[in-house]
Structure 1
Amino acid sequence: MIDLARSSDFALGPIAVRPSSRELVGAAGAVMVEPKVMRVLIALSQADGRVVPRDDLVNSCWDGRIVGDDAVNRVIGKLRRVAEEVGGGAFRIETVARTGHRLICEQPKIPAAVAEALPAAHQRRIRLPVVICAAVLLVICTFAWFYADRPKTPAAVVHQGLPAAVTDLETRGLASMFENAPDRTAEGVDYLRQATVLAPRAAPVWGSLAMSYVLSLGWAPPEERAAVVARVRSAANRALGLDPREARSAAALVSVQPTFGQWSSKDAALGAASSRAYPDFGPLAYQRVQFLMATGQNRAALAAMRPIIATSPLVPWVRAAYIDLVAANGRLEDADRAAEEAGRIWPRDRLIWFTRFDLAMFNGQPEKALALAADRSGWPKQTSADEIELAVKTAKALQSRGDDTARLLQTLVTVAPHGQVEAERAIRAAAALGRPDLALAVARRLLTHRLLANPRRTVIPYIGLPANTEVPTATLFLSPAISLAPQPGFLDLMRDVGLVAYWHHARPPDFCFDEPLRTLCRRAGM
């Protein structure tokens, strides 16, 4: 894997290439490129005009991960645009059919020291109108999520005084993370690593890197998660060593602390982090919302969510959780409006799409869910046709209540062991279709870790530690699974996972304040 931080500057004709800052600088100005684009340019340049096979490019620029031709073609296309924009014909990329690519330098090379001789204005100027226009929503949400209501602390003043290249890298990195796609997440981490190289004593930048590692956990294979968690802690501790109140680092450390089965410890950790860190910080507040949802306190979660949604309306997982919470608090019309708006902003985001589909399907509007699924061009990214088909079958069963219901339930129970997302969908569907016994059976298997866990995808938005021991419980406190609460065996299951003990010492869940469960909860000591 080409290491940009350790790659030397070089020149392509009159163009200075600076791998560590990912800049190409020429007489017409400068442009900053994505990490993979710079890696591919380096790999082609090192070949000295020879053809570089695609497999070699993948090994050195994608770390050997399996990527399709589209991914390579996209990067080659970006390189060609850069060659035209700042290269002025100094170099070009040639594709050799069924073989690979090569870089052809049209002008004589000059020493790499040209980078030092170029005008300072060229070194500072980065022309990105197309990128800025295309990503304006992500930039807005990045600043809303990470910078809104930031107090004028010493750390904030230091952050504001950083070079433009550092703040640009940080903003690009966080915006990439918010696209919720594996390649863009990896690029976001690369951007933020580069930012820490350029600003090694900026606590907020290290905090941003720690949060980027947290967000990348959702895409990490099980065997790599421990290493990613170690990176979270390393970056967060580096930030806290520079500024003990740095809020992103506090949020990152809390997010990788176990929740399931350790409810009181997580609650205490959230309280300690909130009291220690700078106030009014979105990611730390969202950790509290997640915890409240996981412990069945959706009324308090909605109250805690309101200031977050007001300052950070363009973060997809915040919007998805808000929709679920509004619906859980009985405000279905408001939830519908919020879901429609989210669909206009993120029509193919997986989390938003399924939040909209499930909201309609499980709240008396299966025909609306089916209409959403009928548009194949609008299907969510990172989703298989089989998963959509099973969701459609569930909606049709809820619509017709016909003879196919039994077959569907058998299918759902069969696929439930495949992972958490499948189990959560089976629980909700069985509860909605009048089979609480099946729903509770799947829930017990899920919560007692007797599934082939694949926790990278969950029904409810979850930012934090996706270890096999972490089982999101929020699904059980949303419609229609909340209907299981009065069923025999539900409180026994909650007792087995430690929630009854937590509720006894902290605050009972919402269902304990409503009849007929008030008496049942009182008998259970809540």
Structure 2
Amino acid sequence: MQSGQIDLGLAPPARLGRLTLTPALRLIRRDDGVEEVVEPRVMQVLLALAEARGQIVRREDLTLRCWEGRVVGEDAINRVLSRLRRVAEGTGQGSFRIETITRIGYRLIEEGAHTDGPAESAAQPSERAALPFPRRAVLAGMGAGGLALAGAGWWRYGRSDMPAPAREAMERGIEALRLMTPDHLAVAVAAFRQAAQLAPKAAAPWGCLALAWRWLDGLSHGQEASLDAQRARDAAQTALRLDPDNGDAQATLATLVPKYRNWLAYERACQPVLMRHPGEVGIGILTIDLLSNVGRIRDLSGLARGLLASNPAWPWLHTAVALSSWCLGRLDEADGAIERAFQQWPRHTTVWFQRQMMLAYSGRGAAALAMIEDEDHRPVGLPDWDFDLAAAETRALMSRSRADIDKASSLFRERAGQAVGIATGAVRFFAAVGRLDEAFKVLEALYFDRGFDVKDQAYTKEQGTYIQRWDRPTWLFWLPPMAALRVDPRLIPIFQTTGLSDYWQKSAKHPDFAIAGGVG
């Protein structure tokens, strides 16, 4: 029997009867497409029972593995078991049931499986000892996980030559990679390194490692960013020595060149990789990032939708589809995309704040405020002032009263210099309420360092992410609240300084919206 605390962020996907379990997302998906997101404790207990393979799990073992060894009353355990039984009767119908062994503990019985020993594994006999769950070896094409394309098609790169522990490490790495936070990317780096050590002749671990370092580089600053970039380059070159056609490695090297004010060269570096590997998430996300900044939202929408169809377990792709649909005036499609993401990752910071913003700026402020006021279900690890700012912004958009707008404006002026993300939020708000002069003051600081300094933090210091001076975002211009600002002549020198005007002229690819200067 397994021992030790269950960490959902590190636990790999698993099969249980007709179900696919994705612990990091707390997602249970049946093979007919029915799915459910459960509470963290429910997923932990389900994993603990499933790992026992039909053997009895004592209450003491459950508290050790799922409650960090804390003393908890029977009521707490019973509540979780009750919820788990409801899952078994609903989404999990025909897959498993829970038995209570009086005064001892519980056991999970997989429907159709033997209960007196390990269930038969789909892996080869030599692999079974390394697999914590029945039928975990063959995971390619899973509906919830989409592992066949998750990291950029790593399954195609010598999977059959990789030992089971290396495949396990790859799966853990890809699960972490999808969430794209600094902590999850660090987990991904460790997992891919382990896979590379276990399968030294396989290019896939090195390619995925390069991609993880590449994304960490984009979130870091100073010396750390330089080190991450070099690590990404080294891992990519190792992957290409093993397999010159490794898509992740090609994507990494193509996009280590500067993007800001270098849009056309960046695009030309990305294009051949995207054409060679059109279904791979790595180069796809990096290309989407480019398209969002240069205003090609229709192209972005098509690319994001295509990738999402094969890779539904990437929160970033859901938000890209939602945001592009909103920008293009397709509110129903935008709502559908962000709601699907919110159901799966309700406390993911990007998903939560994007949903709150879209509600606030599309006339549904009451729903946005309800999110903010529901403290038990907000993203964790963020300061209260971040939510206070969002609440003031939302109230001002709802009431349009001078007092509420003044209050939100004052908070934005106070905070705009603390982070790039807050500065872009300030521009969005000022544009939406018709205070374009204030919007341009923030833009002057953001792009020209005039008036006040905007620090390199992406958002709050608690999140630990950064946007460096040479990588300032321009995607904010295409949001719906920015319509009036986009056609203001004062935006022309900003388009010129950021290199957008040069890109549009030389590429003959214009933004999808009317803008100052008339190239849209």
Residue equivalent to 1:25 = none
Aligned 8 A contact 2:177 2:188 in 1: yes
Shift of 1:318: 1.0
Assess if the C-alpha contact under 8 Å between 2:294 and 2:511 holds in 1. no
Cα deviation 1:65-105 (Å, max 9, x = unaligned): xxxxxxxxx9xxx9xx99x99xxx9xx99x9xxxxxxxxxx
Q: Is the 8 A contact 1:412 1:426 kept in 2?
A: yes
SS of the residue 1:172 aligns to: helix
When residues 475 and 452 of structure 1 are mapped into structure 2, their CA distance, relative to the original with a 3 A threshold, is: same
| Match status 1:350 vs 2:359 | no
Question: Does the 8 Å contact 1:260/1:471 carry over to 2?
Answer: yes
Contact in 2 for aligned 1:263/1:499 (Cα 8 Å): yes
Counting only pairs closer than 5 Å after superposition, residues 55-74 of structure 1 correspond to structure 2 as none
Report the AA paired with residue 499 of structure 1: L
Offset of residue 290 of structure 1: 1.4
Q: Does 1:215 align with 2:219?
A: no
Shift of 1:238: 0.7
**2:296 matched to which residue of 1?**
297
What is the CA distance between 1:479 and its match in structure 2?
1.7
Give 1:203 deviation, angstroms: 1.1
For 2:492 and 2:157, locate their aligned partners in 1 and report how far apart those are by CA, in whole Å: 51
Encode CA deviations 1:9-51: one digit per residue, 9 max, x unaligned.
xxxxxxxxxxxxxxxxxxx7999998x99xxxxxxxxxxxxxx
Between the two proteins, what is the percent identity of the paired residues?
24
Greater radius of gyration (CA): 1
**CA positional deviation for 1:511:** 4.8
Aligned AA (1:388): F
Please report how far the alpha carbon of residue 449 of structure 1 lies from its aligned counterpart in structure 2 after TM superposition.
4.7
After superposition, the C-alpha distances for 1:93-137 in whole angstroms (9 at most, x for unaligned) are 9x9xxxxxxxxxxxxxxxxxxxxxxxx9798513534998xx999
- 3-state secondary structure, aligned to 2:471: coil
Q: Deviations over 1:458-477 (max 9, x none)?
A: 9xxxx9x9433111111111
| Equivalent residues of 2:157, 2:203 under 8 A apart | no
Alignment of 1:233-272 (within 5 A): 233-272=233-272
Once the two structures are superposed, the pairs formed by residues 67-86 of structure 1 within 5 Å of their partners are none
Higher alpha-carbon deviation: 414-423 or 248-257: 248-257
**CA separation of 1:374/1:497 partners in 2, compared to 1, >3 Å: closer, same or farther?**
same
Equivalent residue letter for 1:503: W
Query: Counterpart of 1:140 in 2: which secondary structure?
Result: coil
The answer to whether 1:394 aligns with 2:393 is: yes
Deviates more, 1:210-219 or 1:501-510: 210-219
Distance 1:448 1:213 in 2: 29
The match for 1:500 is 501
User: Cα distance, 1:191 vs. partner?
Assistant: 1.1
Q: Which residue of 2 aligns with 1:476?
A: 477
Gapped regions of structure 1 (runs ≥ 5): 1-27, 38-73, 96-119
Determine the C-alpha separation between the residues in 2 that align with 1:382 and 1:142: 29
Equivalent position to 1:125, from 112, 123, 129: 129
Give, in whole Å, the separation in 2 of the partners of 1:303 and 1:278: 16
CA separation in 2, counterparts of 1:457 and 1:254? 27
Deviation at 1:221, TM superposition (A): 5.3
1:387/1:355 Cα in 2 relative to 1: closer, same or farther (>3 Å)?
Answer: same
Contact 1:301-1:325 at 8 Å conserved across structures? yes
Aligned residue type for 1:521: G
CA apart distance, 1:386: 0.9
> Bigger CA drift: 470-479 or 380-389?
380-389
Contact kept, 8 Å, 2:423 with 2:454, in 1: the verdict is: no
Cα distance in 2 between the residues matched to 1:335 and 1:284: 23
Structure-2 change in CA distance of 1:348 and 1:31 (3 Å): closer
1:436-475, aligned counterparts within 5 Å? 436-449=436-449, 451-457=453-459, 466-475=467-476
* C-alpha distance in structure 1 between counterparts of 2:484 and 2:142, whole Å: 38
For residue 518 of structure 2, what is the amino acid of its counterpart? C
User: Where does residue 360 of structure 1 map in the other structure?
Assistant: 359
Alpha-carbon distance in 2 for matches of 1:498, 1:157: 38
C-alpha distance in 2 between matches for 1:274 and 1:336:
28
Letter in 1 for 2:304: M
**Aligned 8 A contact 1:137 1:314 in 2:** no
Alpha-carbon separation, structure 2, partners of 1:222 and 1:381: 26
Distance 1:375 1:165, change over 3 A: same
Q: Report the Cα distance in structure 1 between the residues aligned to 2:270 and 2:441, rounded to whole angstroms.
A: 32
**1:145 correspondence with 2:150:** yes
Contact 1:350 1:383 in 2 (8 A): no
In the alignment, the residues of structure 1 paired with residue 384 and residue 4 of structure 2 have an alpha-carbon distance, to the nearest angstrom, of 39
Distance of 2:512 and 2:126 partners within structure 1: 63
Pair 1:218–1:313, CA change in 2 (3 A): same
Q: What SS does the aligned partner of 2:269 have?
A: helix
**Partner SS state of residue 145, structure 2:** helix
Change (3 A) 1:290 1:361: same
CA contact under 8 A between 1:299 and 1:510: conserved in structure 2?
no
Matched, 1:320 2:319: yes
Counterpart position of 1:204:
204
In structure 2, the residue matched to 1:281 is 280
Alpha-carbon distance in structure 2 between the residues aligned to 1:314 and 1:482:
32
Deviation at 1:454, TM superposition (A): 2.7
Query: May I ask how many residue pairs the two structures share in their alignment?
Result: 409
Structure 1 residues 249 and 484, CA gap change in structure 2 (3 angstroms): same
Structure 2 contact 301–324 (Cα < 8 Å) conserved: yes
Asked if residue 309 in structure 1 is aligned to residue 313 in structure 2, the reply is: no
Answer yes or no: is the 8 Å Cα contact 2:179–2:314 preserved in 1.
no
Q: Which TM-score applies when normalising by structure 1? A: 0.69
Following the alignment from structure 1 to structure 2, what is the Cα–Cα distance between the partners of residues 157 and 489?
A: 50
- Are residues 177 and 488 of structure 1, via their aligned partners in 2, closer, same or farther at CA, if it must alter by over 3 Å? same
CA RMSD of aligned residues (A): 3.8
Is the contact between residue 29 and residue 123 of structure 1 (CA under 8 Å) also seen in structure 2? no
Q: What residue is the counterpart of 2:92 in the other structure?
A: none
- Cα distance per residue 1:232-286 (max 9 Å; x no partner): 00001111122222101112223332111111211111123334x4442222122
Q: Distance in 1 between matches of 2:205 and 2:480?
A: 40
